[in-house]
């Protein structure tokens, strides 16, 4: 049977969580035995988000096939088993890029190329590309209804209903029902206006997911249903929740999946979300907590490390722990002496995430030195591996000018240098080492123990690499290279031996992209485990010191 489509649009304001709503519907449909795929259309003109600043766009999520995509694809992968590729994320820029290439080739045979039908046909063709071997495709349209730039996508989904019929297409609109404090009331007018806007472009929504901070009464639901021309049952309270992993449960409670099946005439199995229920009960009943200090430069904008933060949560949940993440501005650690150390005390583990450019590097190096010397578990990802190598080369090997040619092109000791295959490539879009690469692990290493295998595949996004000319002096001083590509070209993982440090590991890839709440990534599990052991050690030392103070105050210097 051909796939059926659910189209998700958003109204009133941005950031209502359309991506999470789409992912959660996918999760519920999978829990009934259906096969789903998810796709996102972004109405901006960049070909992909790869060249956009993290402040503008948030994290760039990388797929196995090396596409640089919107962060909502991360939610899709974390909530479902859909296998995402570059076909799962399209921007206006990429649609136009295709059309212009066709026009230049002469494919349009002299016709005038127009938004309707040429742009809309290209959008519909992209939608059909991801419908093979699945029962339901969930297609999210980025932006807010009423934006000029999203019009061609809205028109394309209107046509999809014309083409495929009512039983094969469903329109889900995510909207806002705000509580106005001074009036003491929930207000339905923004939703009414937003639906009116959709109607003006030919779309009558079937289901309204109403974002709100409190439950919608029967009366409010009835009012929205009446004004927006939907069934009362199809007005859903999409209430704010403490953890994003609760969203599928709240949707299940509101009967979203039942409605979808009824509207799309799908006969599916009984819903089984027991694993998600169990997960949420762990979220709500942690046995203890763990604190991780994240030293980076895009800290003030949380979306820039979305997958990373989730992967840390997964690692903590795997051990029944509540995660406290503190974002530490790297530049704030650039003190003359060791004053920066006071900012780092109190964390159970320290992590330096991926990043680009020179700003904040000196602070990251200080953070890493602190973790190495004080034996605080350290996890370096991509840039965090590169900076760990530089710190080691400078402070342990004594190569004071060790650097990456990214930060100092003239440095005599290029521990990290431009990827050999990228020399001479100046264009920025899509030119990094991207996507999944195989990696061989050293048997017996920290990495191999964490993964419980010696062969892995992980996703990359970088332009610089470890310079193997420095392998000898660094390994002679105690650094261990525990992961490399099978042909030995690229160093992928470095670590310190467990005899030297409880947990010190850096990887050139981004493990956070493959971590899921129900399948936490082995490196995040092992890092959090080490951080928690460090916490327990510190607690034990603190109480031993207190006992000592009580028993022998003269010895410990109490007056
Ligand atoms: N800037 C570094 C590089 O391009 C690290 C990239 C990253 O952390 N994703 O290699």
Calculate how far, in angstroms, residue 463's C-alpha sits from the geometric centre of ligand 1: 6
Q: Are residues 335 and 453 in the same domain?
A: yes
What is the maximum alpha-carbon separation in the chain? Answer: 96
Binding site membership of 356 for ligand 1 (Cβ less than 6 Å): yes
- Asked, for residue 241, whether it belongs to a domain, the answer is yes
Q: Are residues 241 and 291 in the same domain?
A: no
Contact of 25 with 172, CB cutoff 8 Å? yes
pLDDT for position 424: 76
Q: Are residues 64 and 111 in the same domain?
A: yes
pLDDT for position 550: 80
Calculate how far, in angstroms, residue 295's C-alpha sits from the geometric centre of ligand 1: 15
Residues carrying an active site annotation: 382, 510, 512
pLDDT for position 299: 64
Q: Are residues 153 and 131 in the same domain?
A: yes
- Asked, for residue 341, whether it belongs to a domain, the answer is yes
Give the closest residue (by CA) to ligand 1 atom 8.
354
Domain final position from 228, 253, 278? 278
Q: What is the DSSP letter of 49?
A: G
CATH number at residue 40: 3.40.50.300
Of 543, 505, 529, the closest CA to residue 321 belongs to: 529
Look up the domain containing 527 and give its range: 287-418+427-539
Interval 409-435: pLDDT, tens: 999 999 999 998 877 777 777 788 999
Q: Are residues 357 and 470 in the same domain?
A: yes
pLDDT for position 559: 47
Give the closest residue (by CA) to ligand 1 atom 7.
354
Q: Are residues 380 and 266 in the same domain?
A: no
- Asked, for residue 498, whether it belongs to a domain, the answer is yes
- Asked, for residue 496, whether it belongs to a domain, the answer is yes
Contact of 293 with 259, CB cutoff 8 Å? no
Which residues, at least 6 apart from 379, have a Cβ–Cβ distance to it below 8 Å?
349, 350, 351, 352, 503, 505, 506, 523, 524, 527
- Asked, for residue 544, whether it belongs to a domain, the answer is no
Nearest-atom index, ligand 1, CA of 381: 8
Binding site membership of 463 for ligand 1 (Cβ less than 6 Å): yes
Q: Are residues 227 and 301 in the same domain?
A: no
Nearest-atom index, ligand 1, CA of 416: 10
pLDDT for position 300: 62
CATH number at residue 404: 3.40.50.880
Binding site membership of 461 for ligand 1 (Cβ less than 6 Å): yes
Calculate how far, in angstroms, residue 302's C-alpha sits from the geometric centre of ligand 1: 19
Calculate how far, in angstroms, residue 514's C-alpha sits from the geometric centre of ligand 1: 18
H or E stretch at 476: helix 471-476
Nearest-atom index, ligand 1, CA of 354: 8
Domain final position from 249, 278, 307? 278
pLDDT for position 556: 58
- Asked, for residue 474, whether it belongs to a domain, the answer is yes
Count H helices and E strands in the chain, helices first. 19, 23
- To 5 degrees, how large is the angle CA 78–CA 198–CA 44? 55
Binding site membership of 414 for ligand 1 (Cβ less than 6 Å): no
Q: pLDDT tens track of the chain, all 559 residues?
A: 899 999 999 988 888 899 999 999 999 999 999 999 999 999 999 998 988 877 777 899 999 999 999 999 999 999 999 999 999 999 999 999 999 999 999 999 999 999 999 999 999 999 999 999 999 999 999 999 999 999 999 999 999 999 999 999 999 999 999 999 998 999 999 999 999 999 999 999 999 999 999 999 999 999 999 999 999 999 999 998 999 999 999 999 999 999 999 999 999 999 999 999 999 999 999 999 999 999 998 666 668 899 999 999 999 999 999 999 999 999 999 998 899 999 999 999 999 999 999 999 999 999 999 999 999 999 999 999 999 999 999 999 999 999 999 999 999 999 999 998 877 777 777 788 999 999 999 999 999 999 999 999 999 999 999 999 999 999 999 999 999 999 999 999 999 999 999 999 999 999 999 999 999 999 999 999 999 999 999 888 888 888 877 887 776 555 4
Give the closest residue (by CA) to ligand 1 atom 6.
462
Q: Are residues 178 and 327 in the same domain?
A: no
Alpha-carbon distance 392 to 127, whole Å? 49
Which residues, at least 6 apart from 370, have a Cβ–Cβ distance to it below 8 Å?
340, 341, 344, 350, 376
Q: Are residues 82 and 47 in the same domain?
A: yes
- Asked, for residue 14, whether it belongs to a domain, the answer is yes
Residue with the two structure tokens 């999409």: 238
- Asked, for residue 231, whether it belongs to a domain, the answer is yes
Which residues, at least 6 apart from 526, have a Cβ–Cβ distance to it below 8 Å?
446, 449, 450, 503
Contact of 143 with 14, CB cutoff 8 Å? yes
Q: How far is CA 359 from CA 251, 329, 406, 408, in A?
A: 43, 11, 11, 12
Nearest-atom index, ligand 1, CA of 357: 1
Q: Are residues 59 and 19 in the same domain?
A: yes
Residue 10, classed as helix, strand or coil, is strand
Binding site membership of 382 for ligand 1 (Cβ less than 6 Å): yes
Calculate how far, in angstroms, residue 98's C-alpha sits from the geometric centre of ligand 1: 29
Q: Are residues 219 and 347 in the same domain?
A: no
Q: Are residues 368 and 493 in the same domain?
A: yes
pLDDT for position 14: 84
Domain final position from 214, 248, 278? 278
Give the closest residue (by CA) to ligand 1 atom 1.
356
Residue with the two structure tokens 């070209």: 489
Alpha-carbon distance 399 to 528, whole Å? 32
* Number of domains the chain contains: 2
Alpha-carbon distance 374 to 405, whole Å? 28
């Amino acid at each position: 049977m051909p796939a059926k489509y659910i189209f998700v649009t958003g109204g009133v304001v941005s950031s209502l969580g359309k991506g999470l709503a789409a992912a959660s519907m996918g999760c519920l449909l999978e829990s009934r035995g259906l096969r789903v795929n998810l796709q996102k259309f972004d109405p901006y003109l960049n070909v992909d988000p790869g060249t956009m600043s993290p402040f503008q766009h948030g994290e760039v999520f990388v797929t196995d096939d090396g596409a640089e995509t919107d962060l909502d694809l991360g939610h899709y992968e974390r909530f479902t088993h859909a296998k995402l590729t570059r076909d799962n994320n399209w921007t206006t820029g990429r649609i136009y890029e295709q059309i212009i290439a066709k026009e230049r080739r002469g494919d349009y045979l002299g016709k005038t190329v127009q938004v309707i039908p040429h742009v809309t046909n290209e959008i519909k063709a992209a939608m059909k590309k991801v419908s093979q071997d699945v029962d339901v495709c969930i297609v999210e349209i980025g932006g807010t209804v009423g934006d000029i730039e999203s019009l061609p996508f809205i028109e394309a989904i209107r046509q999809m209903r014309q083409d495929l019929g009512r039983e094969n297409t469903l329109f889900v609109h995510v909207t806002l029902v705000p509580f106005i404090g001074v009036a003491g009331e929930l207000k339905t007018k923004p939703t009414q206006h937003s639906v009116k806007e959709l109607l003006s472009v030919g779309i009558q929504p079937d289901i309204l997911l109403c974002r709100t901070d409190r439950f919608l009464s029967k009366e409010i639901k009835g009012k929205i249903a009446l004004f927006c021309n939907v069934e009362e049952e199809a007005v859903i309270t999409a209430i704010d929740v403490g953890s994003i992993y609760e969203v599928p449960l709240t949707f299940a409670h509101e009967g979203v999946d039942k409605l979808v099946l009824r509207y799309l005439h799908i006969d599916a199995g009984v819903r089984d979300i027991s694993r998600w229920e169990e997960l949420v009960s762990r979220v709500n009943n942690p046995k203890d907590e763990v604190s991780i200090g994240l030293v980076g430069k895009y800290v003030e904008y949380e979306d820039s490390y979305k997958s990373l933060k989730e992967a840390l949560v997964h690692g903590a949940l795997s051990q029944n722990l509540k995660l406290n993440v503190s974002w530490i501005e790297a530049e704030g650690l650039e003190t003359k002496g060791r004053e920066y150390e006071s900012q780092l005390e109190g964390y159970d583990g320290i992590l330096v995430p991926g990043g680009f450019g020179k700003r904040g590097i000196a602070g990251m190096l200080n953070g890493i030195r602190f973790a190495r010397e004080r034996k605080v578990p350290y996890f370096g990802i991509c840039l965090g591996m590169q900076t760990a190598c530089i710190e080691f080369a400078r402070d342990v090997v004594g190569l004071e000018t060790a650097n990456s040619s990214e930060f100092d092109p003239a440095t005599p000791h290029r521990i990290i240098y431009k990827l050999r295959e990228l020399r001479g490539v100046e264009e920025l879009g899509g030119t990094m080492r991207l996507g999944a690469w195989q990696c061989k692990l050293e048997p017996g290493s920290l990495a191999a123990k964490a993964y419980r295998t010696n062969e892995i595949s992980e996703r990359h996004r970088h332009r610089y690499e470890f310079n193997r000319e420095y392998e000898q002096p660094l390994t002679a001083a105690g650094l261990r290279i525990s992961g490399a590509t099978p042909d030995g070209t690229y160093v992928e993982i470095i670590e310190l031996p467990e005899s030297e440090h409880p947990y010190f590991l850096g990887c050139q890839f981004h493990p956070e992209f493959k971590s899921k709440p129900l399948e936490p990534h082995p490196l995040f599990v092992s890092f959090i485990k080490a951080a928690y052991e460090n916490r327990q050690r510190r607690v034990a030392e603190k109480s031993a010191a207190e006992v000592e103070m009580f028993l022998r105050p003269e010895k410990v210097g109490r007056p």
